[in-house]
Chains A and B, each alone.
Chain A
Amino acid sequence: EVQLVESGGGLAQPGGSLRLSCAASGFTFSDYTMNWVRQAPGKGLEWVSFIRSETTTYADSVKGRFTISRDNAKNSLYLQMNSLRAEDTAVYYCVRDYSYAFDYWGQGTLVTVSS
């Protein structure tokens, strides 16, 4: 059974940092493109970043502040978030990409940026 479990969310101050992790199981992690997608309170979904092998791409809203990475040996995906802003407050989902479709999502981890 495919499972994606996010962790690392919490309260951060504006300008601060957080590192999100996603533990994957039930599939060959290294074979898949992985994404982070977020949903701000009362808002729609927003794609944040993806990593495909060594290639990474970011939404303009997080470019230069967030870094996506993966450790295939540990079946883990990460999102390093720096220079956090209030508008980064959201539930962050770890998402598997199967041929241009997000076929499995984690339950999400809440990030709140507030002083």
Chain B
Amino acid sequence: QSALTQPASVSGSPGQSITISCTGSSSDIGDSNHVCWYQHHPGKAPKLMIYGVTNRPSGVSDRFSGSKSGNTASLTISGLQAEDEADYFCGSFRNSIAWVFGGGTRLTVL
């Protein structure tokens, strides 16, 4: 059982937008500006897509955006492309001590 709750799967057609939610608690997402999203293609190293709730690292497409409301963070991918198909994990700093992650969401581009 992961500390943060994500849907197991989402899907969308090329060009569409999808949103992945990540629900935690007042001890992590609700109390932290350090919420991140990672893209993971199986067999490869995970890649940082969003940090600090809303910020994109250099080189990450602006089709990826992050937000937070209360204890829930969200990742939105607009203009879906085939290469976006991957697993996506959220992560949050908890109680200023440690990191917690979600169980991951498998994105399928139809």
A residues with a Cβ closer than 8 A to B are 4, 35, 37, 43-47, 50, 57, 59, 93, 99-108
Contact = CB atoms under 8 A, between A and B. Distances in A.
A100 B50 CA distance: 11
A101 B100 contact: no
Contacts, number: 62
* B contact face: mostly helix, strand, loop, or mixed: strand
A43 B45 contact: no
A45 B100 CA distance: 8
B45 A102 contact: no
Interface residues of B, number: 24
Contacts of B89: 44-45
A56 to B, nearest CB: 12
Contact of B36 (A4, A46, A101): A101
Given A57-B98, A100-B93, A101-B52, A45 B104 contact: yes
Interface of B: 2, 6, 34, 36, 38, 44-48, 51-52, 57, 89, 91, 93, 97-104
B46 A93 contact: yes
A102 B98 contact: no
A26 to B, nearest CB: 14
